[in-house]
Amino acid sequence: MGILIDVLVIVVFSLVFFGVYKYVMKTLRKY
């Protein structure tokens, strides 16, 4: 159960990081 939660946290963190990265790249392209 604990391992499953750890994997879930890592997946969510990766998705959030990827989303922020894409957002930052879009913002930098405007300027």
Buried b (16+ CB within 10 A) or exposed e, 11-21: eeeeeeeeeee
Split at pLDDT 50, 70, 90, the class of 26 is very high
Question: How far is it, in rounded angstroms, from Cα 4 to Cα 24?
Answer: 30
Split at pLDDT 50, 70, 90, the class of 31 is low
Tell me, what's the pLDDT at 29?
83
Instruction: Return the SS3 of 12.
Output: helix
Instruction: Return the SS3 of 21.
Output: helix
pLDDT per position as a tens digit, 2-22: 899 999 999 999 999 999 999
